[in-house]
Structure formats: structure tokens, C-alpha cells
Structure 1
Amino acid sequence: MKIVIGSDHTGIEYKYLIIKYLINKGYKIQDCGLSSYGKIVDYPDFIHPTSQIVEKGKADFGIIICGSGNGAAMTANKYPNIRAALVWKEEIAVLAKKHNNANMISLPARFLKKNELLNIVKIFLQTDFEGGRHKKRIEKIPIKNPQ
């Protein structure tokens, strides 16, 4: 399974922590995030490439990180085939995948501890989409013929 990850300066430490964890679990990783500490950047510059990789099917899931998680999620969700969920606790990770079939999670670096962060990632990746009534709801998310 291939996972793409992107972050701005607030998420760089967590990005490297997640990458190390995922590599140890046998996942293939593509890093689209900021690579050096001490530089302040704009999150869309890193979230767009990360989202495009998931959008094009070149990765199974995406993980995006910014200070609040909101800007990253808003940017990712501009892409028609992206369902990025802002996740700040384990129960939200379960529901994002189980009910919404999220293909990206957006993590708020300023509001998560390291152990919470890795648990959220683990739970998200281990949870399966439930389908059923949730499938028809997800099919209603994209705008049809916007005018």
C-alpha cells in the first residue's frame, strides 16, 4: 500500500514521525511535504501536490498536516475525488473511514500529541469502509453539473 504525505512547517516534525512509523509497518511512502526545519511556508504549496497524487490514483491514501488541519482539508477537498477528513481523535478516524470512506486525513499539528497522532494514523489505515447506506451518501457528495 502506498501513502503520500504532505505538511507545512507546523507539521514537519509529525510528518517525519509518521513516515518512520509507516515505513516500519511496511508501507511505501511518498513525501510531498516541507523537507527542512526553520522555514515558514504556505500549506497549499504542499497540499496540492499531495492531493493530486491521491486524485490520480497514484497512492492509496494521503495524510496532510498543518497547524489546525482546516486549511489542509479545505485545500484537498477542492479535488473532485478527494474526501479529506479533519481528524483530531480516534473516534473521528474510525467514522471518517467507516462511514465517509475518506481517502485522506488532515491532522492538526497544534492540537495532537505524538502518541495520539500515531494512534489516529494506525486506526484510520486499519478501518474498512462499511459501504451500504454510506455508499449512496458518498455518491451524493460531488456537485453534479454545477451552474
Structure 2
Amino acid sequence: MEDFKMKIALACDHGGYDLKMAIIAHLEKRGIEVMDLGTNNATDSVNYPEYGEAAALKVANGEADCGILVCGTGIGISLAANKVPGIRCAVVSDTFSARMTKAHNNANMLAMGGRVVGPGLALDIVDAYLDTEFEGGRHQTRVDMLMDIEKKYTK
């Protein structure tokens, strides 16, 4: 049987480029396959919704196991990702929230602000998120409720 190798979709705007590159290096050291969906520099201003959507589509269609997004605050790019059906993306600035968003909300994407968290904390947040398992149980009921809300308004 072949070993499972996790694949993560990463995307950022210009405000998150430097942090995205640090996260990519960290993930590769962990042996995780990275799908880098851009942007490719910190100097050219780009539109975060395009990058949030691109990564969210990779997660939603199963090409990636989960996704990590970075913009200046993490807010805008997470809002874009959350418009894609099936995506539960949380903006996180601490390790406790990173663990809880996976354990209780089964978030399939994580967003951070390149102008909010430094690289050391960001890598700890990534590890906390990736190393936490969804608890299921009563939390599954709540995640199902979230998805029912989405289905009700998605035609």
C-alpha cells in the first residue's frame, strides 16, 4: 500500500508573499506536497479574491487535502475562499484557534495575515492546524448544520 502524502494548496496576495514562501519551505521540510498558486512576488499589487478562489477550488474539488492562504490580514482572502461551496476557511492568529478550528469546525482552509503574524508564530500555527484531528461527535452535527446553511443559499 502506498503511503499517503498530504497535498496543500497555498495562495497569497502581495501582502502575504514573504510569509507564504516561509510556509512553503516549512511544509516541504515536513514532506508535504505544496501546490503554489501564487502570487509570485511581493511588489506587484494583485487582487486577493482571485488567489483565494484558486486555492479554494483545489480544496473543494479534492485536488488538495487542505489550503493555506495569506494576505495582509488574512481577512480578505478568507472571505473569497469561503464563497466557494464546501470551504470552511478560518482566519487565525494564534495556535489555540488553529487547533480549535480543526478540532471543532473541521476547517479545510486556514488564513493568516502576513502583516499580522510573524514567520515564527505562523509556522507554529500551521503545525498546530495540521497536527490536530477533527473530533467529530457533537462537532460533526454543527459542521453539518453549517453545510446545510450553505446548501440552503447555494442554488
TM-score when normalising by structure 2: 0.91
> How large is the RMSD of aligned CA atoms in angstroms?
1.1
Distance across 1 between alignment mates of 2:109 and 2:41: 23
2:106 to 101, 104, 108: 101
Distance across 1 between alignment mates of 2:28 and 2:20: 12
Identity %: 39
| Counterpart position of 1:73 | 78
* Contact residue 15 and residue 42 of structure 2 kept, 8 A: no
SS at match of 1:58: coil
1:48 to 43, 53, 56: 53
Distance across 2 between alignment mates of 1:80 and 1:134: 19
| Counterpart position of 1:145 | 152
2:88 to 47, 69, 83: 83
Q: Where do residues 1-147 of structure 1 align in structure 2 (5 Å cutoff)?
A: 1-142=6-147, 143=149, 144-146=151-153
Unaligned runs of 5+ in 1: none
- Code of the residue aligned with 1:13 in structure 2: it is D
Provide Cα deviations, 1:101-121, integer angstroms capped at 9, x if missing partner.
Answer: 000001011110111000000
Give 1:145 deviation, angstroms.
3.3
Distance across 2 between alignment mates of 1:86 and 1:32: 19
Distance across 1 between alignment mates of 2:89 and 2:55: 11
TM-score when normalising by structure 1: 0.96
